[in-house]
Amino acid sequence: KETKMKQIDKDTISIEWETRDVLEIRPDLTKKQARAVLVWLLDNHDEEIGINWDQIEYACDLLFPDNKN
């Protein structure tokens, strides 16, 4: 699992999550479902915790429990 991090400028960093990351955890989801997971995470993440692999898995299971094998 690889997270994409980059420095925007001397005072700013950015951490990026992609549908590919969601699909790595839940390959049974469609790309459209993976996008829905990212949108849900953006709207609902805990600012104290941020977004991490555990949070992505939680969101997948919450939004698409029936797809899980």
Residue-wise pLDDT for 12-48, tens only, equals: 988 899 999 999 999 999 999 999 999 999 999 888 8
CA distance 56 to 53: 5
Whole-angstrom CA distances from 63 to 7, 33, 41, 48 are 32, 9, 11, 22
pLDDT at 66: 77
| pTM attached to this predicted model | 0.84
The pairing of strands 4-9 and 12-16 is: antiparallel
